[in-house]
Structure 1
């Protein structure tokens, strides 16, 4: 009985030790993750948009192959493998990789800072039908036998950099080998070139820092930029209000003595229902942006209030040739009803603005409704207290305005006043100088060594 118990204890101990050993191997595998930079380019392909990659982003092997490498549609692959390569090598030794940098700029290229086990391509691609040729250091390129068709994988093992006492010289040698091999092989086929390393040349500082960089990268990608209050944008239109708009309702004629203000409401920008990119039309000749304001309340001076649960403003722009114009604002006072108003500029026409330039005006712009009620002789006005707007922005690299076409001309009232005062001072100065030049002096003067000068006067006896 005692012997059986001892055998059971020994068996349990072996099982526990085996589990601990397996867990240790798994943890070692996690710690052994190696991330190296990867450069990919193809000089026979036009530069095309690829997903942006943050410097803090880590990419596993499957994602690299299926998402990033697949974007190049590689027919033949030229894989350069260095014994050790890190981000610091590429950033601190840009001069040593001058040929690689030039080749990447000439075609479709991609830089991935951190890819897990990128050199595994040399073992994985043959299973996908690629014919493999390996070039060791010292083997001439002329000995390669490429298949007549595509799907060739040429693995070029670059000279060792870890045994070279000069890191700078070792990287420069690797750059020379890369450009030399490409010049001899690249003319035979269309190759997608990949440059990576077996392991990082700078030691990894641990899994904790790796997870921290992953967290920071994720937070940076998810963070949304903050724009000032009053700025709205759609796919093709940007608009910014310096101050709140004002909606007025009048009765009577346009003359100051006959029209009467019934109510006025400021459309507070804090009530804007912005949720990132807004909707609107984006055609070649017509573009618009839709602004929505919630809980807008109008006070009509009779102590009664009208709650406009939502106010929709559709700003419309027209594009003709190389110029654009601000045409009108279609306003829905009560969503779901037919109570709509169209506003057009009253005193100033915002027309003839050059394409790829914004329109800016710090003065008030009054827009008047075109559907006056004939019975009550009433109408609306929409006052923009300073605005900057611009259509046709769909190709802009960043959400910001271009150079401003200001509504204020050169000869404003203050400038004209200054010019008038300056002209008046110049007239006074000119008259003074003319009077000074007209003063006549005597042509003879007294000499103390001679008799005094006598000037005869009329009427002397």
Structure 2
């Protein structure tokens, strides 16, 4: 890491360009990592790696450990699906030409930060381990968030927090498509940094990816040179703000970013639903037939029919009406929620009592009240909600038609009470406290304790003889009488 005076933005540019020349042949195996802090930490001053050096897991862990020891422990992790160092040079001249940059917010954050670290070549298995290492060092679970949720969260400088922001990456035949997605990701980072500045909480930010992108490496050298030259030219028609917004809207739609389904009772919203994927499957002739409901539920300009929905202070019912789903002309997907006060916790909780599939006069019901619940002030969010493979939704009975159906909700979030505007409240995540690794450790420890207890019990049962024969003494004689 370096200060503003010793590690300027020009030095960052030089490091990136030099390391890029040494990594052109092997760029598919590494991802870049950019780290900056909002608070000056002189003890965290570390030199960047030599040109062409690939940072492995142990060296990256040393960088992170020193950062966590001396810097702020509120960590913002911007985790992109894919990224390579070419994304900074081919798709916008990041850290270079300010006028034509796709990353103005990232550049601004680096210029205003007290210390920065740029690692252009990190082995992507090491970048995958970043979130686990941060979780272990901070001793806190990660919170997957978006900028709107962050504005509702109050952070404390004395309490560590690991906030993860997932960013998409799109590769298509048009080079501008990936450029637009990267520009949208930069806007997300700008919003997050703006919220953190508003709260006046020191933070450490990390921007990296899970795996390298393939788009940049597959482009020919001629295309790369042409792209590099175009960065120095005027953008022409692309300066039109309306066209830029339209392109970004389409690309975000393709990346799966869209507004939630919103049901209003009068003028106020009372139910919100969002999912990256909604699908249902039915068993026919020994085979599962699936139907994806996502395109007809979410997206710009899509307004699903919700007649039959209702909500009040204690119950909420969201009904999504579809046509021609798996051979059924009229098909309904119904979410039934309720809330009540629990004396044990002294607060109100809401549960998703059932997910119902209604078709041709038949109703299949899945019970979710045992697994899907959250405080009534929060929304409920889960990476995967399904009726199979560790199901959160179970058939109401063995004879219910739901045994012939499967429902799957990917990256699912719902709120049926205390909705404010069109935004979700802070999410209560379904992730359990005990991870598989913790369970394995506990079971192994229990087995070792049982073995030790059995061994001690056997040792304590050993007994010695009351008397022994002395082989050196006189033999025992028994007199005989006639």
Q: TM-score, normalised by structure 2?
A: 0.32
Larger Rg: 1
